[in-house]
Amino acid sequence: MKISYFYTCLVVLLIALSSCGSSDEEPEPLPESFVRFKVDGVQKEFKLSSQPMGFSFDAGGPVYNAIAVMNGNPADGTKNFVSITVRSETPFEAGKDYVMQTPISYGGMDMVRILFTYSDEQGNVYNAVLFQQTIAGIEIKDDAKVRFTKITDNWVDGNFDAVTMGPVTTTGLRNTELRVTDGVFSLPLISAIP
């Protein structure tokens, strides 16, 4: 009698454990990392791996920084990439527009809020890094906007647009305007902010 009770309990326990161990639900996969945008209307997309955005705090500013370099071919970091740096006085928020031409004070000096760089497939570099102004012989049209649409402990989604000038050369001439529009990114997030 004791042996049959023991086996009955063992069978019930094994059935219970086997029903807990198998599940029809698959574990939720990690989202795919990517950046997608248009350059003068031409669609570009990079599937990314191991290319995160970093959030950090610079006490010297003091400013919060969000930095990402999204490279279409990580084996060649000299072309086919987008680099974005966003500066803020407060921690980054989803749903808030960060606009390049709205100055941010860094160590008492006004600076642009966003630094944006695009490099094409040939390695020609176009920047949006300056305040808009007209200087004799050159009109600076640089502009950029970034919006974080979702921020979690380990992931960040957002969108962006920019007016870039270039190509950057050793002579400094920047006479071609490229418009980067409809930008969307989804990246792992590394946060160095306590």
Q: For the chain, what are the domain ranges?
A: 32-191
Nearest to 182 by CA among 41, 31, 34: 41
Tell me if residue 3 falls in helix, strand or coil. helix
Query: Does this model's pTM top 0.85?
Result: no
* pLDDT tens string 31-57: 789 999 999 999 999 999 889 999 999
* pLDDT tens string 150-185: 999 999 999 999 999 999 988 776 789 999 999 999
* pLDDT tens string 119-162: 999 999 999 999 999 888 788 999 999 999 999 999 999 999 99
Sign of CA dihedral 80, 74, 76, 84: positive
| Whole-number pLDDT of residue 15 | 34
Name the pLDDT band for 95 (thresholds 50, 70, 90).
very high
Burial string for 109-120 (b: 16+ CB within 10 Å, else e) reads eeebbbbbbbbb
User: Taking a C-beta distance cutoff of 8 angstroms, is the pair 106, 87 a contact?
Assistant: yes
Query: For residue 114, which amino acid is it?
Result: I
Q: What is the mean pLDDT of the chain?
A: 86
Nearest to 119 by CA among 85, 79, 83: 79
Q: Which residue has the tokens 């490229």?
A: 178
